[in-house]
Amino acid sequence: MPSTVTDLAVRARAAAFDLAAAPRGAKDAALLAVADALEAAAPALVAANAADVRRAEEAGTPAATVDRLTLTPERVAAIAADTRHVASLPDPVGEVVRGSTLPNGLELRQLRVPLGVVGIVYEARPNVTVDAAALCLKSGNAVLLRGSSSAAASNAALVAVVREALGKAGLPEDAVQLVPADDRETVQQLMRARGLVDVLIPRGGASLIRTVVEGSTVPVIETGTGNCHVYVDEAADLDMASRIVVNAKAQRPSVCNAAETLLVHEAVAAEFLPRVLADLADAGVTVHGDEAVRGIGGDAVLPAGEKDWAEEYLSYDIAAAVVPSLDAAVEHIRRWSSGHTEAIVTGSQAAARRFVQRVDAAAVAVNASTRFTDGAEFGFGAEIGISTQKLHARGPMGLPELTSTKYVVTGEGQVRS
Amino acid sequence: MPSTVTDLAVRARAAAFDLAAAPRGAKDAALLAVADALEAAAPALVAANAADVRRAEEAGTPAATVDRLTLTPERVAAIAADTRHVASLPDPVGEVVRGSTLPNGLELRQLRVPLGVVGIVYEARPNVTVDAAALCLKSGNAVLLRGSSSAAASNAALVAVVREALGKAGLPEDAVQLVPADDRETVQQLMRARGLVDVLIPRGGASLIRTVVEGSTVPVIETGTGNCHVYVDEAADLDMASRIVVNAKAQRPSVCNAAETLLVHEAVAAEFLPRVLADLADAGVTVHGDEAVRGIGGDAVLPAGEKDWAEEYLSYDIAAAVVPSLDAAVEHIRRWSSGHTEAIVTGSQAAARRFVQRVDAAAVAVNASTRFTDGAEFGFGAEIGISTQKLHARGPMGLPELTSTKYVVTGEGQVRS
């Protein structure tokens, strides 16, 4: 299977072997050099980005998307600062995860090692290009960056700066490579580069993620789909509950850890719903409710159906239903959840315990907003994405999640009998 | 996609939710009940197995395969003992993997939780049926067992005993289910049961594993292919080296952690090769060597080519080559290794360190046989297989490797600003 991507991956693989043996000092020095180089190149980076922005505007791209695409000198400085921050984080490589001496005297150690070559497929956000490169470099991985064609000029300029700085710092330039984005086929080639690419991380919309998950022979880490629920229990502090619901929905509705459905225990529905509906309305949120919710909220509440329970609105919309019990809330969540973050508001220890135990998600929040499921909020320093699958990593993925392990068995001639 | 497997998986999923919340005491009691029931049913199990054995013999199945298929009262007792041993192992579920209190007062805990529904596709070894069921049960997972059609009667009898014992012990019988093996399509259905099956573990030959890895939309853990090397360094104790080579190859040649290729540093080839070739010949091993090896070993050494470097013989055969340096050995291993276990024999600390750092495998052995890469040898108590992939688990997989994690975030009304 010769292809553009195969060539890039073979070179990345060679670079990854060198990078795996690079000590922390060399990697951190390279990251700091990258940060300096980005700042020094800011005018050129902004100029390259302007071409992408102009094309996007001419194509009628939505303003929010154009904003995410845009680089300014301040944003380049912020990207450089993020890179310096990654340099300051602990190096996961070489950490002894477990170790023991076996009865036959063999010394067993399980060490963290880089995954090898990481592929990332993402949308038109140039900051992801550098963030992903920095995280992969710090964790000793080579990275194949497959961004969006609409950010092609920005990404080419950024990757050229990063590679040059790497080379000057004595690390292999091929550890960071841009996969051409002008052809959809390159995503397919990444998906089929089994044995050359160790993991593929799709970041972006649901359809991209589904395509990669279903078609890839390279192992995939699924990220980012969040159909998150807030369940307000009969034993909830209703002031707290309304604050959490509004925050979870409206503080930043376009992100995966925003709430999409409110479930209210019927015992507190009559008291709670009028209050939370008013607070949501004040925050500019449209509610799509079941009959019980509409019975209280009236015509301001739009009718909700299965489509609403399934939907990740990512907008100022929320679905709402009244449930007869905690177990019914759990059942609803089991049916519709994407396994990202589920929250309960309750003063009952027993209810909190049952909800935590029975809800199957990357994160379960008790008396806290769903919005906290985030690498920075969790104190991981940086994240490459939020895994909603169960294998390898679940929830916010920091540097340790970009590693595998290796057992080292040291003896003095032991053989098996 | 309605199918037999879908129906089974939906029921397994429901059982998995109950099992996830079962405390250790309930799971251990059920495992002990399963062990007792297996022993009590031994005559019936042996009788059911006899039908499979007769069919296999009539079909001209190789004796070694028939032997692995065969159940005797002693083997049933051994399976029961294994089940009791699994009951004695620590429960991975609920272990706090990490935890902290965040600056805003949120308490963060990362807990081990079951994966959910585990699918296993395996060959005609009835003991795997019970082992896999016991390991999955202990780790809180429901399991879909897709054995070989040639063990169909044995597996049906075993699973019936296990399920009845589970039910009597108050755990859901549907946590252990046999997938019909009379149709190849059921493997395909397992591979496509994304969202219902959380992980699929193929155990068996290379072609089965490749089929599952390449075609599955369910996440897969690849197991068991072992093209393992022993590198004898110039600084090796040559007595030790020969003992390790013979043990790694011949102690049990049919298993994945047996050595398949010997690499010898040219500085010790003239001294070491005559000795190790004699020792290998004494152990009944045929050597396939490169020109340098044949130059010393003569016609008793068969000529080796790329096919031999690539091959997992699983027999009393070993490939052998002379290499000019440790780095050349590493290069050979990088090209041909399946990433299972690689060994170096050396008295040099620097050589050991360089080999360990530069060889990318699930396990690297220094002055020890490759044969130690095994869950029982590593002290894990039991194993579901040996992962040769880098995501999720690498090397022998015990109970913790059958779990995922869940973040629990506990607060007192925190919202994000």
Instruction: For A26-65, write each residue's pLDDT tens digit.
Output: 999 999 999 999 999 999 999 999 999 999 999 999 998 9
Q: Give me the residues paired with residue A232 across strands.
A: A264, A345
Whether residue A329 is found in the same domain as residue A284: yes
217-236 of A, contacting B, C-beta below 8 A: 217, 219-221
* Residue A415 maps to a domain: no
Mean pLDDT of B211-229: 89
Mean pLDDT of B378-406: 93
By the 8 A CB rule, do B377 and B80 touch? Answer: no
Triad B137, B138, B144: Cα angle to 5°:
25
Q: Do A106 and B368 touch (CB under 8 A)?
A: yes
Same domain, A406 and A350: no
- The answer to whether residue B1 scores a pLDDT higher than 70 is no
Could you tell me if B105 lies within 8 Å of chain A, comparing CB atoms? no
Alpha helices in B283-339 (DSSP H): 291-297, 306-310, 326-336
SS3 letters for A283-320? Answer: CCCEEEECHHHHHHHHHHCEECCHHHHHCCCCCCEEEE
Which residues of A fall within a CB distance of 8 Å from B20? 357-358, 360
In B139-265, where does DSSP find H-type helix? Answer: 152-168, 185-191, 206-215, 238-250
Nearest of A34, A257, A10, A256 to residue A136 by alpha carbon: A34
CA–CA gap between residue A78 and residue A264 (Å, rounded): 41
Q: Do B377 and A237 touch (CB under 8 A)?
A: no
Domain contains A40:
yes
Q: Which residue has the tokens 């919710």?
A: A293
Residues B9 and B69 in one domain: yes
**Residue A417 resides in a domain:** no
Task: Say yes or no: A200 and A339 in one domain.
Answer: no
Residue B281 has which token pair? 């010949």
Residues spanned by the domain of A197: 4-222+389-410
Are B53 and B69 in contact, with CB atoms under 8 Å apart? yes
**Average pLDDT score over residue span B177-186:** 92
Percent of chain A with pLDDT over 90: 90
Residue from B336, B364, B406, B417 to probe the interface with A (highest A Cβ count within 10 Å): B406
Ramachandran bin of B106, using left for φ above 0, alpha for ψ from -120 to 50, beta for the remaining angles: beta
- Crossing angle of helices A42-58 and A152-168, in 10° steps, is 160
Tell me the average pLDDT across B108-127: 95
CB-based contact (8 Å) between B353 and chain A? no
Do the Cβ atoms of A394 and B415 come within 8 Å? no
Interface test with B, best of A24, A93, A104, A106 (most B CBs within 10 A): A106
Report which listed range, A192-196, A355-359, B64-68, is most confident: A355-359
CB contact under 8 A, B364 and A408: yes
Task: Assign A257 to helix, strand or coil.
Answer: coil
Instruction: Tell me which DSSP letter residue B287 carries.
Output: E
Report the mean per-residue pLDDT for chain A: 95
User: Is the model's pLDDT at B401 over the cut of 50?
Assistant: yes
- CA gap A270, A293 in Å, rounded: 9
* pLDDT(B223) > 90: no
A171 CA: distance to closest CA in chain B (Å):
16
pLDDT at A61: 94
Q: How far is A405 from chain B (nearest CA, A)?
A: 6
* Closest CA of chain A from B294, distance in Å: 27
Identify whether B381 is part of a domain.
no
pLDDT digits (tens, 9 = 90+) for B287-346: 999 999 999 999 999 999 999 999 999 999 999 999 999 999 999 999 999 999 999 999
CA-wise closest residue to B35 among B123, B140, B178, B166: B166
Counting the structural domains of chain A, the total is 2
Locate the chain A residue with the closest alpha carbon to B415.
Answer: A369
Contact B416 A361 (CB under 8 A): no
Q: How many CB atoms lie within 10 A of CB B205?
A: 13
Contact (CB<8Å) A410/B368: yes
Q: Is B364 on the interface with A (CB under 8 A)?
A: yes
Q: Report chain A residues whose CB lies below 8 A from the CB of B389.
A: 219
Q: What value does the mean pLDDT take over residues B104-123? A: 96
Of A102, A392, A414, the CB nearest to B379: A102
Token code pair at residue B218: 């369910």
User: What pLDDT shows up at residue A294?
Assistant: 98
Please write the tens of the pLDDT for every residue from B232-264.
999 999 999 999 999 999 999 988 999 999 999
Residues A66, A193, single domain; the answer is: yes
Residues 368-407 on A with a CB inside 8 Å of B are 368-369, 371-373, 377-379, 389-392, 394-395, 404-407
For the stretch A224-245, pLDDT in tens is: 789 999 999 999 999 999 999 9
DSSP string over B95-119? -EEEEEE-TTS-EEEEEEEE-SEEE
Q: Residue B417: exposed, middle, or buried by beta-carbon count in 10 A (0-12, 13-18, 19+)?
A: exposed
Which chain A residue shows the shortest CA-CA distance from B97? A97
Same domain, A204 and A292: no
**Domain assignment present for A379:** no
Region at B201 (left for phi over 0; alpha for psi -120 to 50; beta for the rest): beta
Residue A367 touches partner B, C-beta closer than 8 Å: yes
Q: How far apart are CA A220 and CA B289, in angstroms?
A: 39
Q: Is residue B4's pLDDT more than 90?
A: no
Rounded to two decimals, the ipTM of the complex is 0.94
- Reported as half-sphere exposure (CB side, CA atoms, 13 A), residue B269 has a value of 21
pLDDT at B2 over 70: no
The larger pLDDT score, comparing residue A183 to residue A265, is at A265
Which spans in A182-265 are helix H?
185-191, 206-215, 238-250
**What is the mean predicted confidence (pLDDT) over A71-86?**
96
Say whether both A35 and A183 belong to one domain.
Answer: yes
Structural domain contains residue A357 = yes
Query: Is residue A66, in this structure, part of any structural domain at all?
Result: yes
- Judged against a pLDDT cut of 50, whether residue B78 lies above it is answered with yes
Is the confidence at residue A154, as pLDDT, over 90? yes
Q: What residues 249-268 of chain A have any CB closer than 8 A to a CB of chain B? A: 251
Same structural domain, A271 and A365: yes
Share of chain A above pLDDT 70, in %: 99
Neighbouring CB atoms inside 10 A of A321's CB total 22
- What CATH number does the domain containing B333 carry? 3.40.309.10
Query: Does the pLDDT of residue A1 top 80, yes or no?
Result: no
| Contact of A190 with A197, CB cutoff 8 Å | yes
How many angstroms away from the CA of A247 is the closest CA of chain B? Answer: 6
| CB atoms A369 and B416 under 8 Å | yes
Same domain, A291 and A365: yes
In a domain, A301, yes or no: yes
Within this chain, do residues A251 and A235 fall inside the same structural domain, yes or no? yes
pLDDT band at A167 (very low <50, low <70, confident <90, very high): very high
Q: How many residue contacts between A and B have a Cβ separation below 8 Å?
A: 213
Q: Cβ of A410 and B213 within 8 Å? A: no
Measure CA of the first residue to CA of the last residue in chain B; give whole Å.
44
The CATH number for A398's domain is 3.40.605.10
- Mean pLDDT of the residues in chain B: 95
For residues A157 and A291, state if they share a domain.
no
Tokens of B123: 């060959």
Measured in angstroms, the CA of A235 and the nearest CA of chain B are apart by: 14
Answer whether residue B49 shows pLDDT above 60.
Answer: yes
Residues B399 and B360 in one domain: no
Cβ distance B20 to A357 less than 8 Å, yes or no, reads yes
Q: What is the pLDDT of residue A214?
A: 85
Look at strands A385-387 and A395-397 and give their pairing: antiparallel
